[in-house]
Amino acid sequence: MNLFDKFQPLADARRSIEQQSSDFFNIVMEEIISATEAVVNGRRMILAGSNNYLGLSFDTDCIEAACEATRQAGTGTTGSRMANGTFSGHVALEKELAEFFGCRNTIVFSTGYIANLAMLSTLVGADEVILLDADCHASIYDGCRLGSAEIIRFRHNDVNDLEKRLKRLAKRNTNVLVVVEGLYSMLGDRAPLADIAAVKRKYGAYLLVDEAHSLGILGENGRGLAEEAGVEDETDFIVGTFSKSLGAIGGFCVSNHRQLDLVRYASRPYVFTASSSPGVIASTRRALNILQTRPELRRRLWNNADMLYQKLQDLGFSLGPEPSPVVAVRQEDKEAALAIWNDLLQRGVYVNLVLPPATPDGGALLRCSMSAAHTSEQMEKICDAFASVRTA
């Protein structure tokens, strides 16, 4: 009996996928040409699955800010936020995020994954309850596992199911945190947040919204679904990431609860990891400023998103429930999905292939994510490639 024997089912699955496509496990971005193009495994490719919603990873001001901060403060902080790893940039970014969201408090974490680990494992303790949407991201599930709260799932976007469970829990007189995402990462659908906020208010629960895929995308000012749905005052905690619309890496939580700051001292994922490097913090600050001052990026993103959704719908593909910058093409059968993914790759278009168990309903997904940086020529090529694989 070998330590790796338990991975045999994974090894078998990998072998069977590799027989269909040698690329799937070996995607290397060999040369990054722009926010929307790269040389991948020797081929020039349009990136239509990179979560680079506003295209800011190649913004010249963001790059300059990162270079300047690196020259001034070095390549890394070499320490945790609690020890030697809080630089003036971290403090400034926390202040700027608080101003942007109009919230009292912010904590910046090293990634969005760590933000969820930290918040969910720390905020809700033993004898308390986390009620989460069943389709929540793995980082939310992992945060729950790291903590000691009781975890109960409700059916995806089903407010009646949420209310039924809140009603039952009301008898226990305990703290309940409801956790949802703004835009769901796999199918690009919104949470019914106004209704969720209404039931959480009715039962005196708390609400945390992960706006990873909605920051910079939804709301008049780009603050996310809570802004769009008009429930920012009722949203106790907003978690987000810098790794998508802001084109960098890192995570945060903002809240009007005065005591949010205490999470810093109680949270192992905050205390026991190094803080983000000065360059990352500087580019994120610049990107946050661009998000606020260039609303045309959001408009361009939505034009591209709407166009792709419409085009793929016209071609007869089965898509996620509503147009959004995440355009998910559903495939019942894993082999068919892999064949289409491979075909798109040969035609110079990279999208994410998502296989079960990472998909919400056990099917496979060709997950596209649109960018404000996609040109009309690139959009046409993406649409043409899908049209060709449809008829192939």
Q: What amino acid positions are annotated as catalytic residues?
A: 185, 213, 244
User: Per CB under 6 A, which region of 28-36, 109-117, 280-288, 380-388 contacts ligand PLP?
Assistant: 109-117
Query: Which stretches of the chain are assigned E, i.e. beta strand?
Result: 29-32, 37-40, 43-47, 105-109, 129-133, 150-154, 176-181, 206-210, 237-241, 251-255, 326-331, 349-350, 352-354, 364-369
User: To which residue do tokens 């939505």 refer?
Assistant: 302
Taking a C-beta distance cutoff of 8 angstroms, is the pair 231, 214 a contact?
no
Kindly state whether residue 251 participates in binding ligand PLP, applying the rule CB under 6 A.
Answer: yes
Closest distance to ligand PLP from the beta carbon of 105 (Å): 20
Provide, rounded to whole angstroms, the least separation between the CB of residue 191 and ligand PLP: 11
Which residue among 49, 85, 89, 112 contacts ligand PLP (CB under 6 A)? 112
Which 275-314 residues touch ligand PLP, going by CB under 6 A? none
Compute the distance between CA of residue 343 and CA of residue 330 in angstroms, rounded to an integer: 16
Asked whether 330 and 318 are in contact (CB, 8 A), the reply is yes
252 lies in the binding site for ligand PLP (CB under 6 A): no
Q: Which of 210, 227, 232, 236 binds ligand PLP (CB under 6 A)?
A: 210
Interface with ligand PLP (CB under 6 A), residue total 14
Q: Which is nearer to ligand PLP, 210 or 227 (CB)?
A: 210
Shortest separation between residue 113's beta carbon and ligand PLP, angstroms: 3
Site string for ligand PLP, 147-166 (x = CB under 6 A): --------------------
Pick from 47, 123, 162, 212: which binds ligand PLP (CB under 6 A)? 212
- What are the Cα distances from residue 379, in Å, to 67, 257, 369, 383? 31, 43, 12, 6
Residue 79 · residue 274 · CB < 8 Å: yes
Q: For residues 17-52, b (16+ Cβ closer than 10 Å) or e, as one string?
A: beeebebbeeeeeeeeebbbbbebeeeebbbbbbbb
* Interaction between residue 57 and ligand PLP (CB under 6 A): no
Residues near ligand PLP (CB under 6 A) are: 111-113, 116, 137, 139, 181, 185, 210, 212-213, 241, 243, 251
